[in-house]
Amino acid sequence: MWEYSDKVIDYFLHPRNVGELKDPDGIGEVGSLACGDMLRLTFKLDKNKRISEVAFKTFGCASAIASSSALTELIKGKTIEEAEKITNKDIADYLGGLPDEKMHCSVMGREALEAAIKNYQGEDSAKHELEGKVICKCFGVTDHEIERVAKENKLTTIKEVTDYTKAGGGCELCHDEIQKILDNINSKKHHDTKTEAKESQLTNLQIMHKVEEVIETRIKPALKHDSGGIELIDIDHFQVSLKFKDACATCPNSNVTLQQFIEKELQKEISPSIRVKEVK
């Protein structure tokens, strides 16, 4: 017998916003009857572009119904941008927690919301599309989904991955592949920690010299080729303030130049932590 919180039991026995909206602005569908869980989410926006109505239909266990109902309460009244920030952890926390073995229900809710938002934003399909290589054929879980959920929820074991995604909970033939994904995430974390330690040793003066060098030798010559220019205004550790000059000052694509060229060059040559902003 699972140990459910009082709120999970309440939202299972008295689910909010059950059903399906007519002519919704967004539709999201995840899961399948064959896998044992399925969720269809629909929502409508008001004149202020906030989610005014939301409804769901779920096939699944008590946790699936409670998580779906909780999700509808969480997104009601929010803008699309606000709703996009909701995580599966937010759903579980709203319910006072879920048993580890049922965390996949909260992940299903998050995925349904993403599918509905993408549908609203113009994607033809309301069905959640699998991205990446299918690792768990029993439940149709991809490497992208495993990696994302593992990172977001700081998962470190195959059992935790199964709890959150169902991957590995069937024939178990995918366990080696799941472990490789977890090992790769851990390797990246180790690399990031070493990078952060190296960055912390740089003084502001050292960063300034490096930024000035890259701007003079790489960025200014490239901009001058198109009759543009740039002036370094300020450097506060990894925050760089720049001002466009000449043709760049009136170019409608200056923001693209700032983010896709200048910032990327500085990040590549100095540190991934570098951020660049324009001063008018």
The residue with greater pLDDT, 225 or 23, is 23
Domain residue ranges of the chain, discontinuous segments joined by +: 6-120, 134-198, 204-278
Residue 196 has pLDDT above 60, yes or no: no
Pick the CATH number of 6-120 from 3.40.950.10, 3.10.20.30, 3.40.50.1100, 3.90.1010.10: 3.90.1010.10
> Is-catalytic flag, 35?
yes
Asked whether the beta carbons of 54 and 75 are under 8 A apart, the reply is yes
Are the folds of 134-198 and 204-278 the same? no
Residue 46 has pLDDT above 70, yes or no: yes
Q: How far apart are CA 73 and CA 16, in angstroms?
A: 8
Lowest-pLDDT range, 173-177, 198-202, 256-260?
A: 198-202
pTM of this prediction?
0.63
**Domain spanning 204-278, CATH class:** alpha beta
Mean of pLDDT over the chain: 87
- As a dihedral over the C-alpha atoms of residue 75, residue 76, residue 82, residue 83, rounded to 10 degrees, the angle is 30
Q: C-alpha 138: how far from its chain's center?
A: 25
Q: How far apart are CA 166 and CA 106, in angstroms?
A: 12
> Is-catalytic flag, 105?
yes
The verdict on domain 134-198 having CATH code 1.10.10.1100 is: yes
The residue with greater pLDDT, 199 or 241, is 241
Q: How far apart are CA 122 and CA 133, in angstroms?
A: 25
pLDDT at 8: 94
Candidate list 105, 136, 174, 248, residue with the active-site label:
105
Residue 129 has pLDDT above 70, yes or no: no
pLDDT at 198: 55
